[in-house]
Amino acid sequence: MSKKISILLSTYNEALVIEETLKLIFETIENVEVILVDDNSKDGTLEKVKKFKNQNIKIFSRNQRGLASAFLLGLINSTGDVVGWLDSNMGQLIKKFPEMINNLDKYDIVLLSRYINEGSDNRSRLRVLSSKIINFFCRFILSRQIFDYTSGIFVMNRSSLRNVVPVAYGHGEFFIEFLYKAIKSELTIKEIPYVQPADLEGISKTASSMFRFFRIGLNYFLRVIVIRLRYF
């Protein structure tokens, strides 16, 4: 019997893309459940999701936002031998998941990476520049073992989770702590290249306005320093 796979999704106003993402998940991955955490979407996202009522999907709707808390809520309610996470508006990358899952026979965590050979980032110049600066800072302060600390797309064996669950606050920066805890716990990590598409439909969980973009960028840098001090 194949391993059960749990895919965790966080949504906020993803009505334009969520149907395609769910369709790709159920078409591509065998023995899969989806744990979807919706942060009070206003555009009919949940109505789109409920069309998949005959599929193995658990829906949690809440009146708050934050990727870290969404991840933990999804994790607590998942039952798979393998746990995976991706942004809801990047459903086309589901096609990478079979390769990622197969690599879990050799590694504890497999993540997609834009900053290794054959990977790239096609978003706006500002987003690419800020991402590369943050990742350079992570590699300088934390560990050079990882090239893409902020991709946020990964699968891992459930048996390894107890060592790496991050502190439940923040947005995408929680993934940096997740990876650094994995390194400190001596878990094996494999990066697989992917091409980040141009800015997609749906509202970014971490940068829905320019002010928010820079404020959360600052939070990333502060979180890296806190992580380094916490796990010194």
Beta carbons of 164 and 181 less than 8 angstroms apart: yes
Residue matched to tokens 């309610």: 77
Predicted TM-score (pTM) of the model is 0.89
Q: Which of 33, 25, 67 is nearest to 167 (CA)?
A: 67
CATH classification of the domain holding 17: 3.90.550.10
Instruction: Count the domains in the chain.
Output: 1
Q: Does the CA dihedral 84-89-91-96 come out positive or negative?
A: negative
Beta carbons of 56 and 32 less than 8 angstroms apart: yes
Please give the pLDDT value at position 211: 61
As a whole number of angstroms, the distance between CA 8 and CA 25 comes to 11
Domain range for 201: 5-230
Helix residue ranges per DSSP H, the chain: 18-28, 45-49, 67-76, 97-102, 125-141, 174-184, 210-230
Please give the pLDDT value at position 10: 92
Please give the pLDDT value at position 167: 65
Strand partners of residue 59: 36
Beta carbons of 45 and 13 less than 8 angstroms apart: yes
* 73 CB-side CA count, 13 A: 21
For the chain, 232 residues long, give each residue's pLDDT as a single digit of tens.
589 999 999 999 999 999 999 999 999 999 999 999 999 899 999 999 999 887 899 999 998 778 888 999 999 999 999 999 998 888 889 999 999 999 999 999 999 999 999 999 998 888 899 899 999 999 999 999 999 999 999 999 999 987 787 666 777 788 999 999 999 999 999 999 999 988 654 445 454 456 666 777 788 898 899 989 888 7
Say if residue 146 is exposed, middle or buried (CB neighbours under 10 Å; 0-12, 13-18, 19+): buried
**The two three-digit tokens of residue 131, written as one number:** 């991402």
